Amino acid sequence: MRKFIPLSGPLRILRSFRHLLIGLLLAIMATGGTAWAGWRTHALVVNGLGGALGAAQDKAFFRPFAAQMRVGILRYVWNGDPRPSGGRKAGGRAWAVALMEDSTARAACMQGLLLRLGGAPGSADACGVPALREGIALAWDRGRVPAAPHWSDFWNVVRYPGKRGLRKDPRSTLEIALMADGVAPADIYAVLATPEGVARAFRKLSQLRPYIVWWTSPAESARIIGNGSVLMTSAAGGEVTAAVAGQRDVGLQWEQSLDDGLSWGVAPDLDHATRDRARSLLHFMAQPEQTARFAALYHAGPDDVAVQPLPMNAVFWQEHLPDLSRRFADWLAAP
């Protein structure tokens, strides 16, 4: 977090001008190179996850929508948490549309942090519009490990010495720990729903603690394997495929991979005009032409249709994420 330092008059003017210029360039870029009077009042602020995913969404969705509707799109990268302390504002502006994990969208819906778009009153499914399924696979350095490893190999630092990357979040990390410990994918959530299963997952993580490099965004998961910081990592498959194309020889093991659902949410406190623009964007992104364009730009799952990743259980995580996040934070803080 940056420390706030009061600026002198000339520096404050210079900084304000710089922010205005950056905003203007973003609006021009989003609309294909054409700006218009009053663009600031019509810009739609979208929070996304950045990386190759964000770039693909720009090309497939945001730029075509902005050009067609003459509405500027300002896209920011955020941490995926819609709570006020987790980034209700992006770049100093309140967001209108945001991409988040299904488990987050369900919890936010029940807390009134997202606009209800339909469904039954009180339903946790009423706020999120499905965006995509992101595969979380085991990525490894082929130059150092020729054969495709599994999660059990991920823990074998004697045979495969080197750092390991894992997400700094109980979601996906605890499932992977249990699979590495021999739990069948179909049994993961039944085991993780018990105190014994939770303890088992954390014991497994403790075995690997000295070797772990934590990542906090899909793009970072691809970066740490692409730059050689780790020998193996859990990673967003689409980000790895895009980031390492033509560079480091990185493999993706899709067996025992996870399938994480991402959804679009709309802020609940928008004025009517902004809410209508947000709904128009969601409708635009759902059209076959746009979804096909996006699928051609971002490949998030295995090519082999016989491989069936484990769907991450959004209902389970909606219910258990607060407790398991506290347990995870305590584990991280322990010596």
Query: Is the distance from CB of 213 to CB of 163 less than 8 angstroms?
Result: yes
Q: Which stretch of 54-63, 77-86, 326-335 has the lowest confidence by average pLDDT?
A: 77-86
Q: What is the pLDDT of residues 126-174, one digit of tens each?
A: 999 999 999 999 999 999 999 999 999 999 999 999 999 999 999 999 9
Q: Tell me how many degrees the CA angle 252-254-259 measures, rounded to the nearest 5.
A: 115
pLDDT at 93 over 80: no
* pLDDT range class, residue 335, cuts 50, 70, 90: confident
- CA nearest neighbour of 107 among 325, 331, 321: 321
Query: Is the distance from CB of 77 to CB of 49 less than 8 angstroms?
Result: yes
Q: Which stretch of 25-29, 73-77, 182-186 has the lowest confidence by average pLDDT?
A: 25-29
pLDDT at 85 over 70: no
Q: What secondary structure does DSSP assign to 173-220, as a single string? A: HHHHHHHHTT--GGGHHHHHTSHHHHHHHHHHHHHHGGGEEEE-SHHH
Q: What is the pLDDT of residues 195-206, one digit of tens each?
A: 999 999 999 999
**What is the C-alpha separation between 174 and 158, in angstroms, rounded?**
22
DSSP 261: E
When the pLDDT of each residue in the chain is averaged and rounded to a whole number, the result is 87
Q: What is the pLDDT of residue 37?
A: 35
Domains of the chain are 9-132+262-297 (3.40.190.10), 134-261+303-333 (3.40.190.10)
pTM: 0.86
pLDDT at 321 over 70: yes
Rg over alpha carbons for the chain, rounded to the nearest Å, is 21
Q: What is the pLDDT of residue 243?
A: 82
Q: Work out the average pLDDT over 280-298.
A: 96
> In DSSP terms, which residues pair with 266 in a beta bridge?
97
Query: Is the distance from CB of 171 to CB of 314 less than 8 angstroms?
Result: no
**What is the C-alpha separation between 102 and 317, in angstroms, rounded?**
9
> In DSSP terms, which residues pair with 278 in a beta bridge?
none
Query: Is the distance from CB of 53 to CB of 218 less than 8 angstroms?
Result: yes
Q: What is the pLDDT of residue 30?
A: 40
